[in-house]
Structure formats: C-alpha cells, structure tokens
Chains A and B, each alone.
Chain A
Amino acid sequence: MNRAIVVDRLVKNFEITEKEPGLTGAFKSFFSPKKKEVEALKGVSFAIQPGELVGFIGPNGAGKTTTLKTLSGLLYPTSGFVEVLEYDPWEKKPEFLKQISLVMGQKNQLWWDLPAIETFELNRAIYEIPSRVYEENLKELVELLEVEKLLTTPVRKLSLGQRMRMELTAALLHKPKVLFLDEPTIGLDLVAQQKMRDFIYEYNRKYEATILLTSHNMDDLVDLARRVIVINEGRILFDGALEELVNKYAKEKIIKATLSNENGIADIQKIGKVKKLIFPQVILSVPREATAIAASELLQNFPVDDLTIEEIPIEDVIRKAFKSGRTNLR
C-alpha cells in the first residue's frame, strides 16, 4: 500500500431548510419549507502517503471538517471517490473502523457522569483490544498526556483541557493507523496546546501513523505539518510543503532594524516599503529577491545597531492565499 488516503473529485452537497426570523417565519417554513442546496465540497482531490502528517487550513465553512467526516465514513459523498487504507469508509467495516479515529474538539464520547476509565474499559471491549495491549497502551497514553491521577474522577468534574486529553486517550487506545484531528488545540491554554502538539508529533513519529489535522492555530501547523492543504469554499487552493506556500504567497520579506540616531531617516523609504517607523525601530517590507541588497544598503547608509530578516507571519501568508484564491475564481 503506497497511499493511505485517496480522494478524487469529491463532491458533497447538503440540503438545508431556510427559515425566516420570528414566529411567522417559523410558521411559513413549517407549511412550505424552503430547501436550499449548499455545496460544501466542489471536487476535492488529494492523496496522502502512509506516515504523513498533513495540515488542513481554511476559514470556517471551507469544507475541512466535511472532508474529515467523509473520510471517516460519517458522511455519504454526493459524488467522487474516497478510499482510506484501501477501504471505502462509507461501508464502515469493523476492520476499517478499528484502524482509524476521528477526534473532534467539541464532540465527546466520554460518559459524562462516570469516570473516564469506564469509557476506556468500554472501548477496550468494543475495539476488542487484548488485555495486555490495552494495559500497555493505556499506561503509555496517560503518562504522555499526564492524566494518571484523573482516571477515576467523574468526567463532568474535569477541566476542558483535562477532558480533551481524556478524549484523545479514548480515541487512541486502539492505536489507529490513521488519525483525523479536528481542531485538537481549540480552547486549550498555551501550555496545554504545546503538550498536545508534542504528543501528536510523537504519535506520528513513533507509530508511523498517518495524521490529517485541521486547525486555526498557526503554531500547530508550523510545528507539526510539513505538508499543508489549503482549502476555501470547497476547493483546494494549494497542496504542498509549508515553505512552498510561503514562497508562493509571501512575495516579500520583513527587515527589522534598530537605529542609533535619526540622521537621514527620511531617506529610508528608498530602500523598501516602510511598515512602521518609531525611532529607534524601523520595519521595512522588501521584495523577496532583493532582500540581501536591501539589507546591505541599509547597513552601509544608515546608523544600524541591529538588524534581522524575517518571513511574513504565516497568518498573513494564508490570508493572502485566500484573497488570491477568491480573485482567481472570479
């Protein structure tokens, strides 16, 4: 098997009922419901190798979660081809389900009133995990995620971060080969986010698991994903290495300099576009290919104390990608 996931011209339409606001609107929609087709995915194609960790980027409603749900067999494709580990997800064969997991940031499978360990035991039975393997996996997961002490606390008494880690434990007890993570760090504090990222990285490396994750959190992507798929309005805008995305959409680089005095400071705009100038700091944006020349000119002609060259923040790059995507479509 050289492809863990194959998606070809996937289309998914939803039918939704529109309702005008207020009581009269409710009445109207009761007697003559207005149906509307929404195209969530308009022909999406990509393939993922076993062991790859791929980040899915896109604004809300772009179709990221719809794709993940289709890949895990929850949604029936309107048209197109989907294959995961050489199975058709929709058939929901037990052998297939035992090898995948979908973790959604705001959906919980834990039994709310019972301690998390009860759900784990239930999953052990459902996934038919041999006792010894289960004990090992559980021990490893609770240590990695630092939740040993919380196993017997009723789930409703756990904090969001603790609960998310328990959810992840429950979803990984059967050691899935393919993992779909939908916003794994949503709502977590910075420390917990970092823990979650370290864990995902470790899991991918150690078990050569194929991971597809969506996130609004750019740190997740920079840290984890070598490859990103940018999706907007149901179409793929970009599929490739994160650096490539930066090269493609970030035509400029940022030079930050600290000046020792204000002599000739007005001329600085000849070097590049001034983004910010508050003495002693100046921030310039220059074309990517002219970065070296601009930096040396700056050093020769101005009283520079300190100078750094940076990439445009990844958020800005992606915002640009979405903007150009939209204009390309029109």
Chain B
Amino acid sequence: MRKYWSVFKISFEQEFAYRLNFILWRVRNVFQILLTYFLWSTVFSNPQTQIFGYDRAKILTYVFGIMIVRALVLSARAMDVSSDVARGDLSNYLLKPMSYFKYWFTRDISSKALNLIFAAVEFIALFVILRPPFFFQGSVVTLFVFLASIILAVLIYFFLLFLISSIPFWAPEIGWGSHFLVTVVIIEALSGSLFPINILPVGLQSIVMATPFPYLIYFPVEVYLGNIGGNALIGGLMVAAAWTGVLWLSLNFIWQKGLKVYQAIGR
C-alpha cells in the first residue's frame, strides 16, 4: 500500500509541474458550465416552466452537479496509457514489482483529488456570482447511494480508458483517434454532461441507458437530485455494477492478450 501512496504524492507533484496546462483545463470546464448554465437558464426563464420533470432549480442543480461529478469522474490520467503502449514506455513499469492497473488508478485518484479541490473553489465562486436556486439533497440514504454511484462511475471510466488504451498493442498508430472518438464524442454526448438523458425520446433513452456511458455523469446526478427512486434506482445501480464487472473482466482478458503481442519497441 505504501508504494501507491508514494505514487500518489509524486503524481500530485507532477500535476503541479504543468500548471498552465492544468489551469487551461479548469478554464475549459468553467466555460462549459457557463455555457450550459445560460442555455438552460434562458429556457427556464419563466419560473413556472417545467420541462421533462425539471423546474428551474433542478435543471440548474443538474448543471452545477455536473461540475462536481465531472471533476470526480472525468478527470483522469489513464489516457496516457495508450502512448505508453504505443511508444514502449510501458516497459519501464512492467519491470517493476508493482501493479500497472493500481499504479494508474492511484494516479487517477491523485488527479481527481486535485481537480476536486479546484472544482470546489469554482463551485463556490460561481455560486456566489450567479446565485442559482440550488437543490440541496437532505436524505442521508440518497447521499449514500449517490456516493456508491460515483464509485461505480469512477471504475467504469477507468476501465473504459484502459480498454481503449489497449488498442495500440495491435495498432500503435490509432491511439489518439480512438481516444478522441470515445472521450470527446461518445462520452460528452451519452454521459449526460451536455443534457439530461431523459429529454431524449423514450426508445432512444432505454438504448442509451443500457450502455455504460450514462452511469458516468447522468445517473449519479439524477440520484443526487432524487429523480430516481425505488426499482429504477436499484435497477440502475445493478446495470452500473454489471458494467463495472464486465469491463473489468474484458480488460483483464484483453490486457493479457496485449502483453503477449507487446513488442517493447523504442530499442
């Protein structure tokens, strides 16, 4: 365990070595929040408006909820794995008595810790400036379930990133392209970070809800808002847990296959 604590510390230091990069990434997050905030704020400008079961307070909480959940779930370092594989830097880690998965999971956690601190500051600042009607969840049970859904989301995202990062074992050139497709296009659209999934037509909704993506952002935020309860809540958690298991098993399978064809290039 101590070795991963050391990884956590050095990873934290490393994040600070790229200060400008980090600040730009935070600025991007803030802009995204502002954009979504003003969009929905305009749609709900009449206080009586209610669309898809959301009133102004809930949709704006959704927007702010995204901010925190994004910092927790989508801030990760494991996308660097694909270049490790493609350029042969993976060799450095394979030579060490340490689990490569745990190594990157630790680095993810350290990245999340740092991002969470900043997201909290941004949250307070935006809250003070915009004074949105914010919905505070009072039920301890719901908060607990929310925490569970966050943990599942973190694991799902971690396994997804690692799976995509395994592609360069077979096709070293396409590491970046596949990341762009998955992290930028699919996750942004299907995770619920642009719009709540339940504004989609019902048929499409159930298809999307069967994929792992909405369990990254949409599902945890909805749990927090108390919009999901009873069977839907249990069902959702079970789908998320099932995806976590399936992704974990496929990752182990793919990774072992990948290591066998790994060429340890770069001399």
Contact = CB atoms under 8 A, between A and B. Distances in A.
A162 to B, nearest CB: 19
B267 A107 contact: yes
A208 interface: no
B17 A114 contact: yes
A181 to B, nearest CB: 12
A97 interface: yes
B264 interface: yes
Contact of B10 (A122, A127, A182): A122
Contacts of B14: 111, 113-114
Interface stretch (B33-41, B87-95, B117-125, B200-208): B87-95
Interface of A: 14-15, 65, 69, 72-76, 92, 94-95, 97-98, 100-102, 104-109, 111, 113-114, 118-119, 121-128, 182-183
A266 to B, nearest CB: 52
Nearest to A97: B97
Contacts of A183: 267
A96 to B, nearest CB: 8
B7 A114 contact: no
A183 B267 CA distance: 10
Interface residues of B, number: 27
Contacts of B18: 113
A-B pairs with lowest CB-CB distance, top 4: A125-B6, A94-B97, A113-B17, A97-B97
B262 interface: yes
B200 to A, nearest CB: 34
Contacts of B10: 111, 114, 118-119, 121-122
Interface of B: 2-3, 5-7, 10, 13-14, 17-18, 88-89, 91-92, 94-98, 259-264, 266-267
Contacts of B267: 65, 104-107, 182-183
B93 to A, nearest CB: 9
A69 B261 contact: no
B2 A125 contact: yes
A109 B92 contact: yes
B6 A74 contact: no
18 contacts: A65-B267, A73-B94, A74-B94, A74-B262, A75-B264, A76-B259, A76-B260, A95-B97, A97-B97, A102-B91, A105-B267, A107-B267, A113-B17, A113-B18, A118-B10, A125-B7, A126-B3, A127-B96
